[in-house]
Amino acid sequence: MLDKTRKTPRLPSTAIDLRPYETFLIHEARLLDEGYFDDWLALFTEDARYWVPIQPNQADPFETVSLMYDDRRLLETRVRRLSDPRIYSQEPRSRTSRTVTNVTVEPDAGEPGVTVRSKFVLVEYRREDQRLFAGTYFHRLVGEGDAMRIAMKKVELVNCDAPLDGLVVPF
Amino acid sequence: MTAAYSPKELAEMVEPARVHRRIYTDPDIFELEMSRIFSAAWVYVGHESQIKNPGDYFTARVARKPLVIVRASDGSIRALHNQCAHRGAMVVANDAGATDEFQCCYHGWTYHLDGRLKAVPLNHGYPDDFSTKNPNTAMVAVPRVQSYRGFIFLSLASEGQSLENFLGYMRTSLDDAVDRAPDGELEVAGGVFKHTYNGNWKLYLENLCDAAHPWYTHRSSIAAAQQQKDDVFSDGTGEIAIRQMRQNGAPYSFWENQVGIWTYPNGHSYLGDYHDDSKLVAALNDPVFREYHHAMEAKKGKGETQRVMEVRRWNSNIYPNMSMMSQFQQLRVIHPIAVNKTEVHTYCFKLKGAPEQMFRNTVSFANVVNGTGSLVLTDDLEIYNRVTLGLSSEGAPWIEVGRGFTSDEPDPHGGRKGKNSTSEVYIRNMFDAWRGYMLGDSGAARKQVA
Ligand code: FES
Ligand SMILES: [Fe+2]
């Protein structure tokens, strides 16, 4: 059902230079597509979280299950498993291709850093089967020295509540 | 229409300690299973907390047939075939909701909550026997619907054994789930995982009590969790997941010496628990569980609380379509879609009267044991897919289910137990039930050989 109380999005400001954010997101997508998972992990802050909700407009990852919800500790374990040669669900490995577009900056919600919203299309090929995922990324990015780091990454899949075979490669 | 296989041919596919692989791959067998097992047995469809008030409903699927399960005006639970009696449109399209009548979207026929026809627009010119009172104009009700302590089962067959007989001693796993709630009540909460695989429905149940597979199948997540440093930031959720993955690394000696497997008539079984982690097992010492114990003792007394804590079960399978973890507030419903396609829906339960944090831990636990993106379950899904691929070859025609065969023992409650948890007795037991449904025999011939 459509939520009638929700607010119409505002036209994004043209004053913000999006190029640093776009460059960052494109780089992140490339690390994932090419399997540089340790380098991907290094983009996250020490208290980062990574979240793929299972419901549209899911309020939180604590009272409802999630396709993936990792605090920093579990994210490290997830990434370590990805490079284990005996990860049978990645034998053979998936190949993925991500396209990240429609980058905008979300209004300030009082949290540290900047929340960048973008659209993605992800094609995953594995064992004669090609799957298509699409949705919205929310990256809360914070500065650490000269570098940009991900404090929170939320992935809203269009088909988050569909029956799905296993999801192994992070979105 | 004649059945694809004669009883003799079916009987020859199930031997005491092996079964013919056709049972997992043949579409004709699958169709027979849909009519002889899923359309005859008691099948779990949902929980009463999903339909608390009159008019609350949810949709379900049994033997691939769409149904709507509803709390009728008199408080009773009804299950209706989700088909309009006019020209056949599916009436209820939402997964769940609340209504005071069902209205078809095609020509607007309306139905009472119990399925009786209420009103028909343009109600003129029909033959004489056309009336809202005529049972032929109703949404057809499923003949038998019954709940046991809040768990709703139905049977598409109007005759057969009672739900009590069907459950038998396995009711104790349902009891255990409810008895763990300080207020004596469960509530389905926390969303649903829906996962699919390209494989037969039986593979799923056969894996759930398989104590011999974690060490191999889950070695990537076991190793990754064992190597994880504990001083890295966690908000508590990752900690639960990592502790669970480490527990999967218990060695064979543990499974063979400390854990048991019990089976009962009609294909049911449960695996003993294997956890010894204080954040996962309510019987052990942890601040959240201490608070829970106080709540239990306040409501139920010390003796009963202790009795409940001593019940230690991992998966309980209620054949043919449900598996639950009473101790961990998880429940899975298995939906066969085709001979090589299965969908599984998993649910969490909130224990009424337990500390809030306990349910949060239940959600974290669900993410790792039942999650579509779990570091563990994804390897199980890969196994189901690989069994299907393996069976598409021209390898051995027989599937071996003989581990522990020579050491099965009777159980005091009318079942059979394995010498220890690595026995495949629970698979042999499911095939006894399979024979019973498919052939109308009791499986006695197989037991004799055993
Ligand atoms: S098909 Fe339902 S009203 Fe006509
Ligand atoms: Fe497993």
pLDDT, position B441? 66
Nearest CA among B167, B158, B201 for reference residue B64: B201
pLDDT, position B4? 87
Beta strand B330-338 with B322-325 is: antiparallel
Q: What single DSSP character describes residue B174?
A: H
Nearest CA among B208, B203, B242 for reference residue B222: B242
Q: Which two tokens stand for residue A72?
A: 């920093």
Question: A165–B385: do the CB atoms touch at under 8 Å?
Answer: yes
pLDDT, tens only, B238-283: 999 999 999 999 999 999 999 999 999 999 999 999 999 999 999 9
pLDDT, tens only, B190-200: 999 999 999 99
B220 touches chain A (CB under 8 A): yes
Q: Which two tokens stand for residue B428?
A: 């042999």
Q: Which residue has the tokens 């239990």?
A: B296
Q: What single DSSP character describes residue B35?
A: I
Rounded to a whole number of angstroms, the CA Rg of chain B reads 23
Atom of ligand 1 nearest to the CA of B109: 3
Q: Which residue has the higher pLDDT, B441 or B341?
A: B341
pLDDT, position B450? 36
What is the residue extent of each domain of chain B? 44-148, 168-439
- Tell me how far the alpha carbon of residue B342 lies from the centroid of ligand 2, in angstroms: 16
Task: Report the chain B residue with the minimal C-alpha distance to residue A67.
Answer: B373
The number of residues in chain A equals 171
Question: Which residue is closest in CA terms to ligand 1's atom 1?
Answer: B87
Separation between Cα atoms, residue B51 and residue B302, nearest integer Å: 33
Q: What single DSSP character describes residue B152?
A: E
> Are B59 and B95 within 8 A, CB to CB?
yes
Separation between Cα atoms, residue B90 and residue B104, nearest integer Å: 8
User: Which residues in B18-43 are b (16+ Cβ under 10 Å) and which e?
Assistant: bbbbbbbbbeebbebbbebbbbbbbb
Beta strand B144-148 with B341-351 is: unpaired
Q: Over 60: is that where the pLDDT of B448 sits?
A: no
- Which chain A positions have a beta carbon within 8 Å of B360's beta carbon? 62-63
If pLDDT is split at 50, 70 and 90, which confidence band does B2 have?
low
Please give chain A's pLDDT, 171 residues, in tens. 677 888 899 898 899 999 999 999 999 999 999 999 999 999 999 999 999 999 999 999 999 999 999 999 999 999 999 999 999 999 999 999 999 999 999 998 899 999 999 999 999 999 999 999 999 999 999 998 889 999 999 999 999 999 999 999 999
Question: Which residue is closest in CA terms to ligand 1's atom 3?
Answer: B107
User: What number does CATH give the domain B168-439?
Assistant: 3.90.380.10
Q: List, as one string, the DSSP characters of A112-141.
A: SSEEEEEEEEEEEEETTEEEEEEEEEEEEE
- Tell me how far the alpha carbon of residue B96 lies from the centroid of ligand 1, in angstroms: 21
Sign of the C-alpha dihedral computed for residues B197, B200, B205 and B206 taken in this order: negative
Atom of ligand 1 nearest to the CA of B89: 1
Distances from the Cα of B280 to the Cα of A6, A125, B288, B399, angstroms: 40, 37, 10, 35
Q: Max Cα separation, chain A?
A: 50
pLDDT, position B447? 47
- Can you identify the CATH homologous superfamily of domain B44-148? Rieske [2Fe-2S] iron-sulphur domain (2.102.10.10)
- Which chain B positions have a beta carbon within 8 Å of A164's beta carbon? 194-196, 372
Q: Over 80: is that where the pLDDT of B1 sits?
A: no
Residue B243 CB coordination number (10 Å): 19
pLDDT, tens only, B310-358: 999 999 999 999 999 999 999 999 999 999 999 999 999 999 999 999 9
Report the first-to-last Cα separation within chain A, whole angstroms.
Answer: 27
Q: Over 50: is that where the pLDDT of B444 sits?
A: no
Cis before residue A107, ω within 30 degrees of 0?
A: no
Atom of ligand 1 nearest to the CA of B84: 2
User: What number does CATH give the domain A19-157?
Assistant: 3.10.450.50
Query: 3-state secondary structure string, B57-69?
Result: EEEEEECCEEEEE
Q: What single DSSP character describes residue A11?
A: P
β strands within B291-415, DSSP E:
313-318, 322-325, 330-338, 341-351, 398-400, 409-410
What is the residue extent of each domain of chain A? 19-157
Backbone angles phi, psi at B318, to 5 degrees: -110, 100
- Tell me how far the alpha carbon of residue B139 lies from the centroid of ligand 1, in angstroms: 11
The number of residues in chain B equals 450
Separation between Cα atoms, residue B216 and residue B383, nearest integer Å: 11
